[in-house]
Every structure is written in structure tokens, then in C-alpha cells.
Amino acid sequence: MSAVHLKIDGAIAHIVLDNPAKLNAFTPQMLVQLETHCATLEQSADIRGVILRAEGTRAFCAGADITAWASLSPFDFARLWVRDGHRVFDRLARLSKPTIAVIHAHAFGGGLELAASCDIRVMASCATLALPEAQLGIVPGWSGTQRLARLLPEPVLKDMALFGRRIDATRAHGLGFVAEIAEDPLSVAVAIADGVAKSSPRAVEVAKYLIHAAVGEDRSAMIEALGGGMIAASADKAEGVAAFAAKRKPEFPGT
């Protein structure tokens, strides 16, 4: 049974965590489902924006399901659990579509790392953010010490990861981690997504690539994607392909 759903509403896609009995804590199956949905969205030209949200009232996501990793050997914990989660969250972060996380309730550990993988975040005033891994004898493993270090000041991140202190919505907004605080964050996210759906999808995509290249989010791939897009539109590329098909030497026009 799927615990991560993909729902399409016109040009807007909703990725929905649906495991409220366990505070939407991630299982291996949920990671697979999220990765599958990301691949589907990447191939859909009709989708202009993505909203990531969760069911239940107690938590946006409490992180990783402890029962899923507690019995893993150190080798499997590092090779499978940490690397698989990292790969899937990177897949979400690098979607060509703009993404919005709706933090309607607490986001802890992997849940905070998940929200950080989106482009912007809208947060309810009652929600809090935390990195409680040290209290369980582990460390953040799904980009909590890496991507979050680009999104939060170092002392704040250390306050959370080392000392276990939480951040409320007001502080998260003041730090720039959250775009907006709202009593109904989903409605705000939908309004933002509806706005981006009216923009040029190619311009939005390229702007996202440029920003990612600047901040180091998969920089090498972003630079090559931008360069590839430029050359793919050239007459030289068209001549090169035509010459290859005709088994002749190309005569590049230089345009």
C-alpha cells in the first residue's frame, strides 16, 4: 500500500505523505515511492509546479522510521539507508519543476531534510523544526549537515544538531528558511504554485538551474545542462547531426 501519493490538479502536482499513524516517518518503501513520483514528474511537460505536503495533524514528517533502520548492520546502514535516502532527497531537490513544502506541523530529522530539499517552504505558526538525531545516537544522514548548511547560519544549525534545540516558525522565517508563515499553509502554497504556473516554464527551469549552480546544488550537472541547452539550439548542432546521418563531413556555420 502506497504511503506517498501523487495527485495531479491541473498544472500542479501534489506529493502527499500519508503515514500519519507513524507521524509520516519514512520507510524504505516510501523512499522508493517518492523517487518514482519524482521520475514521473520530471517527464511530465504539463506540470508547472509541485507541492509537497502530508496528512495528519501531529507532524509533517518525524524523520525516518526507527524500526526500519535500527537493526541494520553498520555497513547496510551506511550503504543502503543513508545513501538511498540521500539519493532520493537529491532527486527531489534537483527536479526541474519548482517545489514548495507545506510544513503544517512539526518537521524533525529527515522530515526537516525533506522540506529543505524543496525550493521554498510555507510553515504553520504552530509547527517547529528540529534535528534530534544526536539524542538517538546517530547523525543527520539525508543532507542535514550539508544542504541545511547552505540554508541556515552555521551557529543555528549547530544549535539544532549538537544541542537538540528546536526552531519555531517565527525564527525560521526570520532566518529566511521559510518563505511565509500562515494559519493555512496549504492554501498559501497553492496560491504560490498557481502563480508560478502562469510563468514561462522554461524560464523558471533555467532560473532554478542558474541558482543551483551558484549555491553548489549539483553544480557540475547544472552547468553542463545549461551549456547543453545552448548548443542544442545552434545551427552547428543541427549540421553535426545531419552530417552524421548522411555519413559526410560537417560544414559548421558557426551559429
Order the strands of the 12-17 sheet from edge to edge: 4-9, 12-17, 49-54, 99-103, 120-123, 180-181
For the annotated catalytic residues, the residue numbers are: 113, 133
3-state helix, strand and coil shares in percent for the chain, rounded to the nearest 5: 50, 15, 35
| Phi and psi torsions of 64, nearest 5° | -100, 140
SS3 for 26? Answer: strand
Q: Which residue has the cell 544549525?
A: 157
Contact 34, 4 (CB under 8 A): yes
